[in-house]
Amino acid sequence: MNSTERVRNAILGKPIDRQPIYGWVSANLSEEITREYGSVAAFEDAYEFDAAHIFGGPGSYRGDVLNALRAENEELTPDLLVDADFFTNPDNPADYEGLAASIRFHKERERFCYVQTPGFFEAFNGVFGIENQLLYMAMYPDELGELYARQAEWSIRFAGHCIDAGADMIHISDDWGAQADLMFNPRLWWEIIYPNMKKVVDYVHSRGVFCSLHSDGCVRKVTDGIAKLGLDLVHPWQESAGMDYDLYLDNYQDTFAILGGICIQTVLGVKPQDKLEAEIRRVFGLLKGKRWICCTTHFVQNHCSMEDLKFAYDLIYKLARE
């Protein structure tokens, strides 16, 4: 069984020869990993990572249009964007060359490749700022709904090119959760996020590939909606934000898989190695054999030492094969 087959089977709840493993290790520790292994790719090879998180392609928005609107208006609000031509063209083949090259690189290692695409709330945080957008959700729900609908259209076209390049899964990144609760009223999630995200999920499935969600934080109030969307996998299912594994195992393990389990907020780079080992063993005890790909809950932070990173992945490598 190669890595792509292993991850696919884990997502579907089918038999696997061992637990798939992965980790978001590159963003903050690339220099440290490169000093010891020669490259991040060499670290991923050493631990036989089964998946690859691919970034690339065009950005969603035209900065020149947004900057002009900011210059002309005291405040950039959703009503000003409804009729503005600020989305980029997602159909330029040259914009996908780097992304396609990354997929080819990992497919040579037979890895499962998933490509990140913007969500809705998270994407427009880059336009308005998170505090402003939370305010605008109450003040301009109709206008934001229209903007999210346009984002969905853009994301569908973007996803199509990623699938053409060989992606096994489209990974929608849309952080909704704070540490203890949803960041906004769940009614708004159902009204302006759910229908637009459903369009993207349905399109991705129509192309015969998986569709997944990344959302940090506590999203308990919309987990039934996440299931209704038809998503195949959720990352990170953040236990440290009140998303306990019993909630998943009791209610959703027959509906979707989870990617995560190694918490970068409370465990990796935080706890001493004896407690780090105990936590990793606890999670394996709960999730091994389930619809689970072992992974970090987010990018490993730069306060994590290489000694702790290697200790964790030595243990993960071993437990995945026991």
Computed from CA positions of residues 144, 149, 154, 156, in that sequence, does the dihedral angle turn out positive or negative?
positive
Residues 6+ apart with CB under 8 A from 300: 23, 24, 25, 27, 28, 29, 264, 268, 269, 309
Computed from CA positions of residues 269, 271, 274, 278, in that sequence, does the dihedral angle turn out positive or negative?
negative
Residue given tokens 């020149």 in the structure block: 64
Domain 3-321: CATH class, spelled out: alpha beta
| H or E segment and range at residue 40 | helix 40-46
Residue by residue, pLDDT tens for the chain (322 residues) are 999 999 999 999 999 999 999 999 998 999 999 999 999 999 999 999 999 999 999 999 999 999 999 999 999 999 999 989 999 999 999 999 999 999 999 999 999 999 999 899 999 999 999 999 999 999 999 999 999 999 999 999 999 999 999 999 999 999 999 999 999 999 999 999 999 999 999 999 999 999 999 999 999 999 999 999 999 999 999 999 999 999 999 999 999 999 999 999 999 999 999 999 999 999 999 999 999 999 999 999 999 999 999 999 999 999 999 9
Among candidate residues 320, 293, 305, 321, the one with its CA nearest the CA of residue 23: 293
Judge if pTM exceeds 0.75.
yes
Q: Are 215 and 246 in contact (CB under 8 A)?
A: no
Write out the DSSP string of 96-144: GHHHHHHHHHHHTTT-EEEEEEE-SHHHHHHHH-HHHHHHHHHH-HHHH
Among candidate residues 46, 53, 50, 48, the one with its CA nearest the CA of residue 7: 50
Tokens of 258: 């989870």
**Surface-to-core class of residue 33, CB atoms within 10 Å of its CB (0-12 exposed, 13-18 middle, 19+ buried):** buried
